[in-house]
Every structure is written in C-alpha cells, then in structure tokens.
C-alpha cells in the first residue's frame, strides 16, 4: 500500500541523514534549546477500526487507507513545552466489506500537545510527545465528535526538518458511534524559532565568568615593583617615540629650509624682459638665464616653470600667442645652457597679470609698459 511506502520513505530519509552525518551537531552540543516555534506537517494516515474498544492492531482486516488518504497539521509550540495543533485529514475506507468500501472520511482535530524531550533529558533530535484534544469527523457524511489522546515521536533530521510518527485514540461522544484509532506518518517543518541557552551552556557561561573574575583578581595582585617596572618600560618607549618624532620634525624643517634657499636663489637670478612686440633675448636677459642655469645645475631635482607675460597693447589673443613664444624662447635658451627640456615647463600668460595701472586703453610710458613684459620663474616640483 502507498501508506507503507511513504512511511518507509520517511524512515529512510531520517536514517540516511544520520548515517551520513551522524547525529546533527546542533542536537549534540546542547549549547541552545529551541523554546518555541511554529510547525507545519504533511503526511498520510490510516483509520484503525480494530474494535470499538480500541483493541490490538489488525492491519489486514481493519487498517483502511489508499492513495488519497492525506493528513496536514499546523501547530504553535511555546517555551513551557506545551503547544496547540490543528490537524485535518481525508481518506477513503477500502478492503473492509461492501458496505464500507469507497466511503469518504474527513476529520478535523484540535490537540493540546506536551513535549517530553526536556523532561526525559533527551538530545534535541529525539522529540516524543503526548496530547489531549477533541475532534470532529464525517464518515459517509455522518458527523461524529470524539475525545482524543495522542502519543507520538518526532525525529529532527535538521533544526527545521523532521519525520513525525503518531497514533491518536478517538473516543466517540455520539451514542451510536464507535471508537477508533488513527495512525499517521509524515514530514514536518518548523520555523519562527526562538532559542535560549541550555542548562549546560548556562553553567559553562557561569564558569567562564568566574574564570574571568579570577584572572582580573590575579592581574590586580601584581606587585608594586612589577607595576613600577611596567611603568618604566612605558616611559622609556614614550621617550624613544618622542625622540623619533623630534628627529622627524628637525629633518622636515631642514628640508623646508633647503627648498626655501633654492627658491630664493632662483628669485635672486632675476627676471627676463622683452622689447615691445619682440621675442629676442638681449644681453641682460641672457646673463639672468646663465645665472639661473647654474642654480638648476646644482639642484637637478628641481622642475621649473617659465611663465611669460605681455603688456596690454594689442589684442588679448595676440598677446597670449606672443607671450607663449617668449616663454618658449627662454626655455630653449636654458636647454642650450645644459638644462634638460623635460625639467622645464614653458607657458605664455598674455596680459592676464598686469602689475600696474597700464591696462587696456590706459596711456602709460614705455618704462611702465616694460614692467609687464616680464618672464618669471617658479619651482613646480622638487
């Protein structure tokens, strides 16, 4: 029969999981206990009419099941080991007699369940239970009410999935109804679990607290000489660190002074001036560049910016192009003096930085305009 096949399948699933993995770690360590959860179940059932007084099993004559005999359950379990469970079942009688064959059965039961696992001190994979409740059933559309007792066992393969086997004894309330038993097997799934530490885990935690307290006591009992030695070591380390910081500060200050001296030497070399609308270097300009080249040769790490300007006479675009030619003229001359071109950046600024009042449309002397036709030198990078 299909019921026996399903029951064998459930048992094989449980046995195979435990053969491969042993008893699951979560049920051996006992670090935590699942206090409450919600459970869903799905399986098959049989109606056992061995006798109106619930006599011994006689599967050949009184077990009634076929492929459409199903059972579903929903339960809520709480941290006091009690739970409530609703069970619905459906099936047909077969193989009894002509009067009972193909009669439809429907049942709905409400059970109060008590889990025995904690009372018996069992591992969490083995979960027996007892229950009391009441039920309503229909056989061939005839309604019956009953008082129920339940005994069962859940084998948890994982924390959430398990196999459930149960037997219910049902005492009829109706005068003309008979008693019967209902056996069931299926898979169960639990969720919305709440956990707490087990007694063993709480004891271990308390021992850990005592151990930590003892360690603190031992630490606090270190002798004064040991404390003084530790403080001296700390002071020595602090002094070494302070000395290293002072050396770093001095080195940084020294490097800053060195860079300032280089910048000052470049500034002291002077500026290059051009004639109006001209790009040629006169003798005074070449003297400035030769002095500047010596500074650059003494400090090969310096990257130099050559920035050339024009006065305000002429258009902005013309003056920008003219100043670029002047900057490049200076850069080329420095290259002739032995300064690599990759150390020089030449850029024309046009009339973007007039140093006096000689802006556009302002009449000025030739000497005043010359001030703005300058080429400046700036350290871009060391």
Give the model confidence (pLDDT) of 15-52 as tens digits: 454 444 444 444 444 566 788 999 999 999 887 766 55
- Indicate whether 214 belongs to any domain: no
What's the pLDDT at 1?
A: 46
Host domain of residue 291: 269-381
The radius of gyration of the chain from alpha carbons, rounded to an integer in Å, stands at: 49
Alpha helices in 66-171 (DSSP H): 117-120
pLDDT > 60? residue 311: yes
Same domain for 242 and 330, yes or no, is no
Give the model confidence (pLDDT) of 222-269 as tens digits: 666 677 777 888 888 888 888 899 999 999 999 999 999 999 999 999
- Please state the domain count of the chain: 3
Its pTM stands at 0.46
- Indicate whether 159 belongs to any domain: yes
- Indicate whether 221 belongs to any domain: no
State mean pLDDT over 181-198: 88
Q: CA 301, CA 324: separation in Å to the nearest integer? A: 25
State mean pLDDT over 133-158: 91
Same domain for 48 and 19, yes or no, is yes
DSSP state string for 326-347: HHHHHHHHHHHTT--GGGEEEE
Same domain for 236 and 275, yes or no, is no
Q: Element (H or E) spanning 134, and its range?
A: strand 126-139
- What does each C-alpha distance from 120 to 117, 124, 127 come to in angstroms? 5, 11, 10
- Indicate whether 53 belongs to any domain: yes
Give the model confidence (pLDDT) of 161-182 as tens digits: 999 999 999 998 987 777 888 8
What's the pLDDT at 285?
A: 94
**Which residues have a Cβ under 8 Å from the Cβ of 2 and sit 6 or more positions away?**
44, 65, 66, 67
């Amino acid at each position: 029969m299909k019921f026996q096949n399903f029951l064998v399948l459930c048992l094989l699933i449980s046995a195979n999981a435990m053969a491969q993995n042993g008893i699951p770690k979560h049920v051996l360590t006992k670090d935590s206990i699942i206090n409450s959860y919600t459970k869903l179940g799905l399986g098959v059932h049989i109606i056992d009419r061995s006798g109106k007084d619930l006599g011994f099993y006689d599967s050949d004559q009184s077990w009634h099941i076929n492929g459409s005999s199903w059972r579903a359950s929903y339960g809520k379990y709480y941290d006091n080991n009690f739970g409530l469970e609703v069970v619905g079942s459906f099936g047909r009688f077969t193989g009894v007699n002509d009067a009972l064959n193909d009669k439809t059965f429907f049942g709905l039961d409400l059970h109060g369940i008590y889990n025995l696992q904690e009372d018996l001190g069992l591992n969490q994979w083995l979960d027996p239970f007892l229950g009391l409740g009441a039920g309503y059933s229909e056989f061939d559309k005839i309604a019956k009410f009953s008082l129920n007792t339940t005994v069962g066992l859940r084998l948890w393969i994982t924390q959430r999935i398990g196999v459930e086997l149960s037997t219910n004894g049902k005492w009829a309330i109706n005068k003309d109804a008979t008693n019967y038993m209902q056996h069931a097997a299926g898979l169960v799934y639990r969720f919305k679990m709440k956990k707490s530490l087990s007694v063993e885990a709480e004891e271990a935690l308390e021992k850990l607290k005592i151990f930590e307290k003892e360690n603190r006591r031992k630490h606090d009992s270190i002798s004064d000489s040991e404390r003084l030695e530790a403080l001296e070591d700390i002071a020595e380390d602090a002094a070494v660190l302070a000395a290293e910081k002072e050396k770093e500060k001095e080195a940084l200050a020294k490097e800053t002074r060195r860079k300032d001296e280089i910048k000052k030497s470049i500034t002291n070399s002077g500026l290059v001036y051009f004639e109006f609308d001209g790009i040629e270097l006169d003798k005074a300009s070449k003297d400035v560049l030769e002095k500047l080249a010596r500074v650059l040769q003494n400090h090969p790490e310096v990257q130099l910016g050559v920035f050339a300007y024009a006065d305000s006479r002429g258009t902005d675009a013309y003056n920008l192009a003219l100043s670029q030619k002047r900057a490049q003229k200076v850069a080329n001359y420095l290259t002739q003096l032995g300064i690599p071109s990759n150390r020089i950046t030449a850029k024309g600024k046009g009339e973007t930085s007039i140093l006096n009042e000689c802006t556009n449309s302002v009449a000025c002397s030739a000497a005043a305009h010359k001030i703005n036709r300058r080429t400046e030198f700036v350290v871009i990078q060391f």
